[in-house]
Amino acid sequence: MGTVIAALVATAFVISLTATAAMKRIAPRLGFVDRPGQRKIHDAPKPLGGGVAIFLGIALPMLAVIGLAAGGALSSLASAGGAAGRTLAMHEAGIRHRTPMALWILAAMLAIHIMGLRDDRRAMGPFVKLAFQLAITTLLVVLTDIRALTVLDGLGLGVLPSVIVTVLWIVAITNAFNFLDNMDGLSAGVAAICACAFLAAAVSIGQWFVASMLALLLGAVVGFLCFNFPPAGIFMGDAGSLVIGFVLGVLTVRTTYIAGPLNEVWYGVLAPLVVLAVPLYDLAVVCVIRIARGKSPFVGDTNHFSHRLVARGMSRRTAVLCIYLVTAATSIGAVILPHVRGGWHALLVFAQTLLILGVVMLLERHPPPSASGAARASDGSPSA
């Protein structure tokens, strides 16, 4: 199966890379650009449309595999497609079984993507966007029964508690990555690191449907990142950041993190919190700051973790790399969490995550070297 995962990553990477290069040329001709503004330092319009490339990098291979499986064509790859083809042919029945769920996920992705394109073209109100996200996510959860914490079904309220928790979780992760899209290469890079961690966990447990989608997400964001790493030549916009967060949110729910009896390794279900600690931390802190200042939590500013690092003397590229490393540090513990035996070992993983976030807090609280540092805190990417 490893050859299939590698092939999916490579396929999504090539599609995304090619589409990003194309959108970089096409977007300015269509007027689909991000213009300089109060919270941005680029002095010329930058192409948008990287989100289109990311979406295509995920959606096109999914549709291709689904179509081949539906027509029974994957069986022919057993002799002509090498190791990857033989593996796909072996899983053809399983792919057909998961096709309805995959198509619903694709439909929800498309709806989120179109909403993001609309917002990139002409800004929608933040509460209108939130309402659309809640509606799309609720519909997906109800129709596919993709739910987290199904143990809550035993409370006597049916599936309602689990549905509510699942919808709020997916919408929170969707917006966390939208908020992270405030500096060149940040949202895509953090998404790639998180996708790697979740992919390793899914493969180790043998969840191939989730692993395949994570492989496509990984390839798609890395292909885009080739053009978005600072200094960026193109932005993903909401059409990309919302899709990235939505896919990760859905797949974290779809993954089973329990590699053993529930009463022995229950802490495995907390793996997504550990992997996504940094995006969730940034989302929470920024919202608290905005609300404390009497502002809407959805109105963009320069209070993100990345902005505060730059205000304290880091270059934008160094700040992005710093957040990459912090995210990778929390993710490593999460990969092994489903496999540890004993609450003591799990406690060490959680303690490590809290200590890393403690370092983040100290970095943020350190006074800026000068007031002029704040002027460098904004970046060219559309700030959430």
Note the pLDDT of residue 372: 43
Helix or strand or coil: residue 299? coil
Which of 17-31, 43-57, 61-75 reaches the highest mean pLDDT? Answer: 17-31
pLDDT at 55 over 90: yes
> Within a domain: residue 163?
yes
> Within a domain: residue 101?
yes
And the tokens for 238? 């909401």
pLDDT at 48 over 70: yes
First to last CA, the chain: 38
CB contact at 8 A, 198 and 252: yes
> Within a domain: residue 382?
no
pLDDT at 334 over 90: no
Of residues 40 and 183, which shows the higher confidence score? Answer: 183
DSSP 209-258: HHHHHHHHHHHHHHHHHHHHSSSPSS---HHHHHHHHHHHHHHHHHS---
> Could you list the residue range(s) of the whole structural domain that residue 229 is in?
2-376
Share of the chain above pLDDT 90, in %: 41
Q: How far apart are CA 5 and CA 16, in angstroms?
A: 16
* Region 356-366 average pLDDT: 80
Helix or strand or coil: residue 167? helix
Note the pLDDT of residue 264: 55
Helix or strand or coil: residue 99? helix
* Model confidence pLDDT, tens digit, residues 58-85: 999 999 988 887 776 666 655 555 555 5
Beta-carbon contacts of residue 301 (< 8 Å; ≥ 6 apart): 39, 286, 290, 295, 383
> Within a domain: residue 49?
yes
Model confidence, pTM:
0.87
Alpha-carbon Rg for the chain in angstroms: 21
Q: How far is CA 368 from CA 158, 306, 313, in A?
A: 51, 13, 7
> Within a domain: residue 48?
yes
> Within a domain: residue 195?
yes
Note the pLDDT of residue 98: 82
* Model confidence pLDDT, tens digit, residues 254-295: 877 665 545 555 666 778 888 998 899 888 888 888 888 888
Question: What rounded mean pLDDT belongs to the chain?
Answer: 83
Total domains in the fold of the chain: 1
Note the pLDDT of residue 371: 44
> Within a domain: residue 159?
yes
Note the pLDDT of residue 205: 77
Neighbours of 57 (CB within 10 A): 28
Q: How far apart are CA 90 and CA 83, in angstroms?
A: 11
> Within a domain: residue 384?
no
